[in-house]
Amino acid sequence: MPRRITHFETHDIRFPTSLTGDGSDAMNTDCDYSSAYVTIFTDGDEPLVGHGMTFTIGRGTDIVCQAIAALANRLVGLNPEDLFKNMGKAYDYVSADSQLRWIGPEKGVIHIAAGAVNNALWDMFARSRGKPLWKLVVDMTPEKLVDATVFRYITDALTPEEALAMLKAREEGKKEREAIVRKDGYPAYITSAGWLGYSDEKVARLTKEAVAAGFNHFKMKVGADLASDLRRGRVIRSIIDDPQFLLQGSQGLDPDSPALQGKNAGPTGAVLMIDANQIWDVPQAIQYVKDLSEIKPWFIEEPTAPDDILGHAAIRRALKPYGIGVATGEHAHNRMVFKQLLQADAIDVCQIDSCRLAGVSEVLSVLLLAAKFGVPVCPHAGGVGLCEYVVHLSAIDYIAISGTMERNVLEFADHLHEHFLYPSSINSKGRYNVPLNPAEGYSIEMHKQSIAEYEWPNGSYWMNRRNNGN
């Protein structure tokens, strides 16, 4: 008898990161990093399991879990192998309930819920084949990879036929690229030193530690106070541009190297990026970033509302004479927004999010779009579980789609990895290690103890807080 999907579980898991200022920025001042988590089960002599989640920051996670349950219920009774045959169609099926679609469509709570469900299916698929997710995807033929991708509403910018031709052109050299990324890892940048709620002393300490760990790309949050941002930016620049703080024996990077061209790299080859988390109107964004030009950022991330394509384009044009680019994407809620950002020449850097987009199939759409338009992809990974997810996506991009990681960097934040069975990790060169364990799938399985402790509202941590009057 073929396996059938029999049931699923959802969990509202919240971590008290607001107590330490982790994740703080100009728009989101009290983040409790959270996960709307789902596990899907099958029957059979060797039952399958798939884990997925979407990232939230506290209140509202319960609402996402309800939406996840509504979507996951559509899978009960289905044969997972039928879904695995064409993951693009599986994506369409999860999103096809017309009444549920009405409360999107393909945006908001219902869409990020679909991301958790679709990611759980991809996790199940990879585990069933005994491969990490990235390896499952890069081993697909170009034809199968196209079948796994969502093209609805983007064929005016990228057709399946064009995507197939791109993927076939990348077939040559795939084995060599896979060997390189296995050996060297994937380039990373660090955000953990630059949260807005940190003191200058903590920023300086964490920046020195990051330089010593091999990082050469750094991001800081801005937008609450110009004087404070300039002061913190000078603190970071004074450290990352000073050779004395480099990893012992390192000479830094040549700021004139191709990988650093246009990035405002300092004398040690270090790069600074800034992130406003949508705090400004368009004219405010332009003036504020001009006033920050002395700290020489590579780009301003999320300078305005994430849906404002023409606003991003205007900001990009205004900042170009200052050598400052524009990046966005962590809140771009579907592939159509990315399509328009690229068509409008509105961004220098494309920043996908692994679960605001509705799972791997939609991520593939955006990776292919970005490759066609020649824009580097630097994924968002600042929250719980996102680092575990996105290293797979960047490996897919490099090996099978764009064929390059020369200018790409993948965000890393050193928070909450201990809650996962297969946590992401950074090597001595400040690069992500590519997941290699054949059992880990999409690397998002949480320890049962972490779920029991931090599930809202009755996990042991939250019960103790209430019992102690907090």
Domain count, the chain: 2
Distance of CA 143 to the CA centre of its chain: 26
For residue 245, give the CATH number of its domain.
3.20.20.120
Question: Is 380 noted as a catalytic residue in this protein?
Answer: yes
246 and 357 co-located in one domain: yes
Name which of 411, 314, 418, 276 is nearest 354 in CA terms. 411
115 and 227 co-located in one domain: no
For residue 116, give the CATH number of its domain.
3.30.390.10
What backbone phi and psi angles, to 5 degrees, belong to 162?
-65, -40
Strands (E), 351-434: 410-412, 431-432
341 and 195 co-located in one domain: yes
322 and 425 co-located in one domain: yes
Q: Which tens digits make up the pLDDT trace of 351-372?
A: 999 999 999 999 999 999 999 9
* Beta bridge pairs of residue 300: 274, 326
**HSE (CB half, 13 Å, CA atoms) of 207?**
29
Query: Is 56 inside a domain boundary?
Result: yes
Query: Is 71 inside a domain boundary?
Result: yes
Query: Is 286 inside a domain boundary?
Result: yes
Take residue 209 and report the two structure tokens written for it: 């530690």
For residues 308 and 329, give the distance between their C-alpha atoms in angstroms, rounded to a whole number: 11
56 and 12 co-located in one domain: yes
**Alpha-carbon torsion 129, 131, 133, 139, what sign?**
negative
* Domain ranges, residue 112: 5-131+448-468
Across residues 21-37, what is the average pLDDT?
76
Question: Is 144 noted as a catalytic residue in this protein?
Answer: no
355 and 424 co-located in one domain: yes
Across residues 374-390, what is the average pLDDT?
95
200 and 108 co-located in one domain: no
405 and 460 co-located in one domain: no
Query: Is 159 inside a domain boundary?
Result: no
125 and 188 co-located in one domain: no
Q: Which tens digits make up the pLDDT trace of 238-259?
A: 999 998 888 765 667 888 899 8
Query: Is 147 inside a domain boundary?
Result: no
For residues 423 and 381, give the distance between their C-alpha atoms in angstroms, rounded to a whole number: 13
**HSE (CB half, 13 Å, CA atoms) of 361?**
33
92 and 183 co-located in one domain: no
Tell me: pLDDT of 22 over 70. Answer: no
Q: Which tens digits make up the pLDDT trace of 416-441?
A: 999 999 999 999 889 999 999 999 99
**Using the 8-state DSSP alphabet, how is residue 445 labeled?**
P
Residue given tokens 């524009």 in the structure block: 326
Query: Is 156 inside a domain boundary?
Result: no
For residues 143 and 140, give the distance between their C-alpha atoms in angstroms, rounded to a whole number: 8
CA end-to-end span of the chain: 52
- Tell me the average pLDDT of the chain: 95
Q: Could you tell me if 8 and 40 are in contact, meaning their C-beta atoms sit under 8 angstroms apart? A: yes
295 and 182 co-located in one domain: yes
User: Which is the catalytic residue, given 11, 131, 217, 221?
Assistant: 221
Across residues 97-114, what is the average pLDDT?
97
Query: Is 356 inside a domain boundary?
Result: yes
Other Cβ atoms closer than 10 A to 148:
24
User: Which is the catalytic residue, given 111, 263, 312, 380?
Assistant: 380
- Could you tell me the pLDDT band of residue 18, with boundaries at 50, 70 and 90? confident
Q: Which tens digits make up the pLDDT trace of 141-150?
A: 999 999 999 9
What backbone phi and psi angles, to 5 degrees, belong to 110?
-65, -30
Query: Is 420 inside a domain boundary?
Result: yes
- Work out the angle at residue 162's Cα, subtended by the Cα atoms of residues 156 and 168, and round it to the nearest 5 degrees: 160
Least confident stretch, 8-12, 21-25, 360-364, 379-383: 21-25
- In the chain, % helix, strand, coil (3-state, to 5) comes to 45, 15, 45
383 and 462 co-located in one domain: no
- Work out the angle at residue 10's Cα, subtended by the Cα atoms of residues 4 and 13, and round it to the nearest 5 degrees: 150
